[in-house]
């Protein structure tokens, strides 16, 4: 049995196909200006990669910012539920999930069965998200994928006063003009993101083990800063960006196995 999960975000869209409960294939594509078209492209790419057709899918679950944009979905399910399910699947000892995506971040506390106990979500501001880092990378004239590596070489950090994307960009430009090394500024940005996430974690309550997901989890500087503040080792999945889509696919499999649940 093959099912699909799609996480249609504001920045990227991920699709995961499961075959008999195991990951069959996955794709990550930019969402662009049209989430419906992005979802269709993402699913088509995953199907082509797997060598199957859409009619072979037993169920499709969508999640994320644009989850209502794909007309062919069997069901739409919230990001919190999908990220919790996906993180628990890849690391069953997970009790706290920290997801930092393109334009939102969330902290989810789980019980021993992987069920959501409590959560905090920041979806009103891009501060501390992938979009925030993209803007800062542009101001620093570096590639966003190089931020983590560059911050690791910083001999010290520097305080970034504002987490508002617009004001922080201005602050970064001023620090560059003062002659502050880029590596130090980047480390300061990572520390600021970690401090912001820590506030969310404290409201939910942290319980080990902690899994870090989302595209920003690929930034080793953010992961280091967050791990230092929490005082725990973070588990980062091999591909942290597909965890929401994976959770959606797992829920799609449940729907396919229990058809009455579709209603």
Number of domains making up the chain: 2
Same domain, yes or no: 211 and 249: no
Same domain, yes or no: 10 and 124: no
Residue 103 or residue 93, greater confidence = 93
User: What's residue 259's pLDDT?
Assistant: 60
User: What's residue 258's pLDDT?
Assistant: 82
Task: Encode pLDDT of 219-254 as tens digits.
Answer: 999 999 999 999 999 999 999 999 999 999 999 999
Same domain, yes or no: 221 and 119: yes
Same domain, yes or no: 261 and 222: no
Task: Encode pLDDT of 109-140 as tens digits.
Answer: 999 999 999 999 986 677 788 999 999 999 99
Q: pLDDT over 70 for what percent of the chain? A: 97
Same domain, yes or no: 100 and 227: yes
Same domain, yes or no: 105 and 32: no
Same domain, yes or no: 86 and 136: no
User: What's residue 124's pLDDT?
Assistant: 67
Same domain, yes or no: 72 and 127: no
CATH number assigned to the domain comprising residue 228:
3.30.420.40
Same domain, yes or no: 249 and 184: no
Same domain, yes or no: 214 and 107: yes
* Average pLDDT rounded to a whole number, residues 158-184: 93
Same domain, yes or no: 111 and 69: no
Task: Encode pLDDT of 8-18 as tens digits.
Answer: 998 999 999 99
3-state secondary structure the chain: CEEEEEEECCCEEEEEEEECCEEEEEEEEECCCCHHHHHHHHHHHHHHHHCCCHHHEEEEEEECCCHHHCCCCCEECCHHHHHHHHHHHHCCCCCEEEEECCCCEEEEEECCCCCEEEEEEECCCCCCCHHHHHHHHHHHCCCHHHHHHHHHCCCCCCCCCCCCHHHHHHHHHHHHHCCCCHHHHHHHHHHHHHHHHHHHHHHHCCCCCEEEECHHHHCHHHHHHHHHHHCCCEECCCCHHHHHHHHHHHHHHHHHHCHHHHC
Same domain, yes or no: 230 and 105: yes
Q: Is the pLDDT of residue 263 over 50?
A: no
Q: Is the pLDDT of residue 45 over 90?
A: yes
User: What's residue 260's pLDDT?
Assistant: 61
Please give the residue range of the domain that contains residue 31: 1-91+242-263
Task: Encode pLDDT of 46-57 as tens digits.
Answer: 999 999 999 999
């Amino acid at each position: 049995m093959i099912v699909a999960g799609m996480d249609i975000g504001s920045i990227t869209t991920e699709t995961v196909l499961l075959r008999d409960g195991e990951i069959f294939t996955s794709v990550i594509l930019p969402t662009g200006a049209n989430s419906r078209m992005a979802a269709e492209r993402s699913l088509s790419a995953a199907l082509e990669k797997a060598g199957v057709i859409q009619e072979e899918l037993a169920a499709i679950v969508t999640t994320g910012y644009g989850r209502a944009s794909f007309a062919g979905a069997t069901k739409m399910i919230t990001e919190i539920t999908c990220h919790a399910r996906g993180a628990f699947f890849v690391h069953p000892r997970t009790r706290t999930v920290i997801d930092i995506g393109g334009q939102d971040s969330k902290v989810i506390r789980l019980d021993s069965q992987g069920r959501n106990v409590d959560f905090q979500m920041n979806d009103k501001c891009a501060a501390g998200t992938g979009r925030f880092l993209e803007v800062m990378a542009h101001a620093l004239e570096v590639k966003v994928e190089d931020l983590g590596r560059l911050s690791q070489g910083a001999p010290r950090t520097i305080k970034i006063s504002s987490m508002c994307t617009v004001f922080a960009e201005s602050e970064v430009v001023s620090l560059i003009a003062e002659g502050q090394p880029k590596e130090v500024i980047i480390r300061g940005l990572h520390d600021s993101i970690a401090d912001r996430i820590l506030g969310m974690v404290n409201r939910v309550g942290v319980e080990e083990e902690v899994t870090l997901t989302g595209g920003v989890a690929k930034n080793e500087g953010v992961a280091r800063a967050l791990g230092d503040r929490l005082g725990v080792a973070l588990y980062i999945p091999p591909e942290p960006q597909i965890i929401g889509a994976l959770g959606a696919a797992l829920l799609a499999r449940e729907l396919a196995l229990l058809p009455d649940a579709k209603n």
